């Protein structure tokens, strides 16, 4: 569990603004589940998804996402991981490989989400990418209500990650804004 509690260059929960927001969100909560719900809802609802906004810079570190109040799904998952870990709650990064036809027809890409370890439920996946028409991600353990249902040729990556995948980090470092990211989303290819 130790690796799912550490601060790092990207999951930088020791950054003053991330630490302060984590404390603020935990204030008055009586359980890890209550803290996790608040952190999830904050990232889902208060941090804009860059793709939904249709503009904006690309963020990577949790502190950047919080400062800019926006990020792609991957960056939002970095912030959620940081907020949970800052509160002593084990959190992991997860990925799905989905169709990205919403942006460019016929391409696939990774989608970033999270898993949180809740004492009463174990590992529980949550998706704070942001709701919109056709997307209704919720926090309702033990029931999983992610942003997307898997379709044909889409799948969950089976592992829990303490740090973001290199392909995700590289894409977020290289593509500085909305226009540069469209059509160049991180992907690992089809394993079949």
Burial class (CB in 10 A: 0-12, 13-18, 19+), 84: buried
Nearest to 139 by CA among 39, 69, 2: 39
User: How much is the pLDDT for 2?
Assistant: 95
Element (H, E) at 18: helix 16-26
Least confident interval from 25-29, 122-126, 128-132, 182-186: 182-186
- Rounded to the nearest integer, the mean pLDDT of the chain is 95
pLDDT of 10 strictly over 70: yes
Please indicate whether residue 51 or residue 13 has the higher confidence score (pLDDT). Answer: 13
**115 DSSP β-pair partners:** 92, 125
pLDDT of 190 strictly over 70: no
Rounded average pLDDT over 38-51: 97
181: its two tokens:
């990211």
pTM for the whole structure: 0.96
What's the distance, Cα to Cα, between the start and end of the chain in Å?
A: 32
Rounded average pLDDT over 64-89: 98
> What's the full length of the chain, in residues?
192
All structural domains of the chain, each given as residue ranges with its CATH number in brackets, are 2-181 (3.10.620.30)
């Amino acid at each position: 569990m130790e690796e799912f509690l550490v601060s790092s260059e990207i999951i930088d929960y020791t950054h003053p603004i991330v630490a302060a927001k984590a404390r603020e969100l935990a204030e008055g909560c009586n359980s890890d589940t209550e803290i996790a719900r608040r952190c999830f809802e904050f990232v889902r609802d208060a941090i804009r998804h860059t793709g939904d906004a249709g503009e904006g810079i690309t963020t990577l570190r949790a502190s950047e996402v919080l400062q800019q109040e926006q990020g792609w799904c991957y960056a939002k998952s970095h912030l959620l991981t940081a907020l949970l870990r800052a509160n002593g709650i084990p959190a992991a990064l997860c990925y799905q490989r989905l169709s990205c036809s919403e942006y460019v027809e016929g391409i696939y890409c990774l989608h970033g989400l999270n898993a949180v370890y809740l004492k009463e439920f174990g590992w529980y996946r949550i998706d704070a990418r942001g709701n919109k028409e056709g997307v209704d991600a919720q926090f309702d353990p033990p029931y999983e209500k992610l942003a997307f249902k898997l379709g044909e040729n889409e799948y969950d990556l089976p592992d829990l990650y303490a740090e973001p995948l290199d392909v995700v980090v590289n894409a977020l470092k290289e593509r500085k804004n909305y226009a540069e990211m469209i059509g160049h989303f991180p992907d690992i290819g089809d394993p079949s």
